[in-house]
């Protein structure tokens, strides 16, 4: 079997389809997961709409059942539905597997794993064990009787969970657009739409893993161009967008302007603290200080975290935090089994908007005026250590910490530089009190990192 060690990432398995990630490897992962998870209970398996996701999911299922593990095949779903299923049915299932490469281009695919109760399975808690089992062919003997596969839909239960975050009766009859980017949002949003009073213009709801219209990644502002244009042209109230596997969502206001992720985080923080006075909120260290200021101004406890799914979920569980916020646009909810969900995030903002009685553009203007923030910048750097050393020496007079990469803080600006957990790049985030300082420091750091 062709085994490419590098496809085992910090949070999931991800690689080029047919080359790095093959059906044979997916079958091996299924066997390893069956052996690693607790003895009792079936495993939920879902998949996205990518060209080979069905074949990869079948291979995973065959691996699971070969080891005697029963399977709930929940079919074409969003990733957050697998997280939900592992939590909602924790008394019945041992965990879950989702075949997806999230927002990556069409030539990629991947496998995400989750434990019983929606406990994460990343590099620190299970994924590397799976990797070693696969690498060494260290499986238990195949079962004498193969596990059975049950096809099951959990869409109704999932929509019921989303609606728990809404006051449906208070929602106006808005006219909106939803861009599914040919991803899994197009399969699931219609089930929620039936419960909402909105008039919805559906954009790119056809499932197509080649992403013929644009990359399904609302974190990249350029992918929202069609949605922004539609809102302006048709004078809609706002728009929603989802990434390929639906675990991230974005919003565009009534003027056709995309909402930055940190503004969404600040809005959610203010509302969740109003509903849960004094609660704790976990925030990854790259996120704008707008969120930190909002949490503290509204009586909450700000908990700073390393970047990543595992780190945020673990702190949230340990601290019983009500909300988690990641700079990449993942939002985590205690009341959704401490998991991230794109659709719960955007619909929670919609709920906030309904309560406010304002336009979304008016609501946005209440946040984010205190800082100038640069969009995350990626650098392909051969000598990563050299780049870090240059930066560390240049800014040795600042307040430095290495919780994740290197963060340096001054009175009027701060930055973080870190090596990506998922791509061969160095990522830079910079924020300042004014635009001139931001531009100066960003140019300075860009030159320094590039050598």
What residues does 377 pair with on adjacent strands? 428
Neighbours of 406 (CB within 10 A): 18
Of the candidates 287, 372, 270, the one whose C-alpha atom is nearest the C-alpha of residue 322 is 270
Q: Give the domain extent around 159.
A: 155-369
**Residues 241 and 149 grouped into a single domain:** no
**Residues 401 and 337 grouped into a single domain:** no
**Residues 334 and 402 grouped into a single domain:** no
Phi-psi map region of 182: left, alpha, beta (phi>0 left; psi -120 to 50 alpha): left
Q: What is the DSSP letter of 122?
A: S
155: its two tokens: 């869409």
Are 188 and 213 contacting, i.e. CB atoms less than 8 angstroms apart?
no
Phi, psi of 359 (to 5 degrees): -80, 155
**Residues 64 and 204 grouped into a single domain:** no
User: Rounded CA gap, 221 and 175, in Å?
Assistant: 22
Phi, psi of 17 (to 5 degrees): -60, 135
Pick the catalytic residue: 102, 288, 339, 348?
102
Boundary of a domain, candidates 351, 369, 387: 369
User: Rounded CA gap, 271 and 174, in Å?
Assistant: 21
For every residue of 274-291, DSSP letters joined together read HHSTT-EEEEETTS-HHH
Contact partners, residue 91, CB within 8 Å, separation at least 6:
none
Are 397 and 382 contacting, i.e. CB atoms less than 8 angstroms apart?
no
Q: Is 252 exposed, middle or buried (0-12, 13-18, 19+ CB in 10 A)?
A: buried
**How many domains is the chain partitioned into structurally?**
3
Phi, psi of 415 (to 5 degrees): -150, 160
Mean pLDDT of successive 10-residue stretches along the chain, which has 451 residues: 91 95 98 94 98 98 98 98 98 98 91 96 93 97 97 98 98 98 98 98 97 95 97 98 97 97 97 98 97 97 95 96 96 98 98 97 87 92 91 97 97 94 85 96 95 73
**Residues 43 and 185 grouped into a single domain:** no
Element (H, E) at 418: strand 413-419
Are 361 and 252 contacting, i.e. CB atoms less than 8 angstroms apart?
no
Please report, for the domain that includes residue 405, its CATH number.
3.30.310.50
pTM for this entry? 0.96
Q: Is 197 helix (H, G, I), strand (E, B) or coil?
A: coil
Boundary of a domain, candidates 369, 390, 407: 369
Torsion of CA 361, 362, 363, 366, to 10 degrees: 120
**Residues 413 and 360 grouped into a single domain:** no
The answer to whether residue 269 is catalytic is no
Are 31 and 68 contacting, i.e. CB atoms less than 8 angstroms apart?
no
Please report, for the domain that includes residue 35, its CATH number.
3.40.120.10
445: its two tokens: 């750091």
346: its two tokens: 């955007």
pLDDT value of residue 368: 66
Are 281 and 312 contacting, i.e. CB atoms less than 8 angstroms apart?
no
**Residues 80 and 213 grouped into a single domain:** no
Of the candidates 28, 105, 35, 92, the one whose C-alpha atom is nearest the C-alpha of residue 62 is 28
**Residues 223 and 142 grouped into a single domain:** no
Neighbours of 138 (CB within 10 A): 12
Boundary of a domain, candidates 108, 136, 153: 153
Contact partners, residue 385, CB within 8 Å, separation at least 6:
none
Are 239 and 231 contacting, i.e. CB atoms less than 8 angstroms apart?
yes
**Residues 241 and 332 grouped into a single domain:** yes
**Residues 146 and 60 grouped into a single domain:** yes
User: Rounded CA gap, 351 and 435, in Å?
Assistant: 32
What residues does 80 pair with on adjacent strands? none
**Residues 216 and 329 grouped into a single domain:** yes
What residues does 403 pair with on adjacent strands? none
**Residues 85 and 184 grouped into a single domain:** no
User: Rounded CA gap, 341 and 181, in Å?
Assistant: 17
């Amino acid at each position: 079997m062709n085994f490419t060690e590098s496809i085992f990432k910090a949070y999931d398995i991800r690689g080029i389809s047919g080359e790095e990630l093959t059906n044979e490897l997916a079958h091996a992962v299924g066997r390893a997961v069956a052996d690693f998870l607790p003895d009792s209970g079936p495993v939920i398996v879902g998949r996205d709409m990518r060209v080979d996701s069905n074949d990869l999911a079948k291979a995973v299922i065959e691996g699971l059942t070969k080891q005697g593990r029963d399977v709930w095949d929940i079919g074409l779903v969003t990733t957050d539905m697998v997280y939900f299923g592992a939590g909602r049915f924790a008394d019945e299932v041992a965990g879950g597997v989702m075949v997806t490469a999230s927002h990556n281009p069409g030539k990629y695919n991947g496998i995400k794993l989750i434990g019983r109760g929606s406990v994460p399975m990343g590099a620190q808690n299970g994924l590397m064990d799976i990797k070693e089992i696969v690498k060494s062919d260290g499986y238990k003997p195949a079962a004498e009787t193969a596990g059975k596969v049950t096809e099951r839909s959990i869409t109704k239960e999932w929509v019921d969970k989303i609606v728990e975050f809404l006051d449906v009766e208070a929602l106006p009859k808005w006219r909106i657009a939803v861009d599914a980017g040919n991803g899994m949002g197009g399969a699931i949003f219609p089930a929620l739409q039936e419960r909402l009073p909105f008039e919805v213009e559906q954009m790119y709801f056809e499932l197509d893993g080649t992403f013929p219209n644009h990359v399904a990644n609302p974190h990249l502002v350029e992918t929202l161009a069609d949605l922004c244009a539609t809102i302006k042209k048709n004078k809609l109230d706002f728009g929603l967008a989802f990434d390929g596997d639906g675990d991230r969502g974005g919003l565009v206001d009534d003027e056709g302007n995309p909402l930055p992720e940190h503004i969404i985080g600040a809005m959610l923080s203010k509302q969740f603290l109003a509903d849960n006075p004094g609660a704790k909120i976990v925030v990854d260290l790259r996120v704008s200080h707008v969120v930190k200021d909002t949490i503290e101004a509204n009586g909450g406890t700000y908990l700073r975290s390393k970047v990543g799914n595992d780190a945020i979920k673990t702190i949230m569980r340990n601290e019983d935090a009500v909300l988690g916020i990641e700079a990449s646009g993942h939002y985590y909810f205690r009341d959704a089994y401490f998991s991230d969900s794109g659709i719960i995030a955007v619909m929670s903002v919609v709920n906030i908007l309904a309560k406010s009685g304002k336009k979304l553009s008016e609501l946005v203007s209440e946040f984010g005026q205190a800082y100038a923030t640069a969009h995350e910048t990626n650098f392909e750097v051969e000598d990563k250590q050299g780049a870090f050393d240059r930066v560390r020496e240049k800014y040795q007079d600042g307040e430095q910490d290495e919780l994740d990469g290197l963060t340096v803080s001054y009175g009027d600006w701060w930055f973080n530089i870190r090596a990506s957990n998922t791509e061969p790049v160095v990522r830079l985030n910079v924020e300042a009190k004014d635009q001139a300082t931001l531009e100066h420091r960003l140019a300075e750091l860009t030159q320094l990192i590039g050598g």
